[in-house]
């Protein structure tokens, strides 16, 4: 089961807010897979802090990290499937804003929990 005790997530979120003030939007979506895998709150906390250090540009006011990722995704899509990219452009969707949440929380709400764990493992190694 991928059940994560709400009190553990809330407690860690509170501690993380103190440690990393740059991050304004802390989400259980990003913390729960780490808590599940680490099985130890202290280790999970520091892994999450490190993870957020890498992702901090996604959560800053200007969201430069998200802008960069959306541009990279659009460029990749244009290279791999020009016809589809042209279709999206014609629909005024070329900026791929519909992908925003996918990238922000790393598909946490789009995939089953075990698939999220697998995806994160592959993408972070």
pLDDT tens digits for range 59-114: 888 889 999 999 999 999 999 999 999 999 999 998 999 999 999 989 998 999 99
Report helix, strand or coil for 111: coil
pLDDT, position 66: 94
Q: Which residue has the higher pLDDT, 1 or 27?
A: 27
| Helices assigned H by DSSP within 2-63 | 6-19, 28-38, 41-59
Per the rule left: phi > 0, alpha: psi between -120 and 50, beta: everything else, 75 is alpha
pLDDT, position 92: 93
- Kindly list the domain boundaries of the chain, sorted by start residue: 6-123
pLDDT, position 70: 96
Give the chain's end-to-end CA distance (angstroms, integer): 24
Q: Residue 25's pLDDT band (boundaries 50, 70, 90)? A: very low
Per the listing, tokens 């969201």 go with 63
The CB density around residue 102, as the number of other CB atoms within 10 Å, is 16
What's the whole-number mean pLDDT along residues 24-34?
74
Please state the pTM of the whole predicted model: 0.71
pLDDT, position 1: 40
């Amino acid at each position: 089961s991928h059940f994560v005790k709400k009190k553990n997530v809330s407690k860690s979120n509170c501690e993380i807010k103190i440690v990393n003030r740059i991050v304004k939007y802390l989400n259980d979506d990003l913390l729960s897979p780490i808590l599940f895998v680490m099985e130890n709150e202290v280790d999970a906390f520091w892994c999450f802090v490190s993870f957020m250090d890498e992702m901090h540009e996604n959560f800053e006011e200007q969201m430069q990290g998200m802008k960069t990722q959306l541009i990279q995704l659009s460029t990749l899509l244009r290279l791999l499937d020009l016809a589809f990219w042209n279709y999206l452009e014609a629909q005024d969707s070329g900026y791929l804003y519909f992908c925003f949440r996918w990238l922000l929380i790393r598909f946490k709400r789009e995939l089953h929990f075990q698939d999220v764990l697998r995806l994160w493992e592959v993408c972070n190694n």
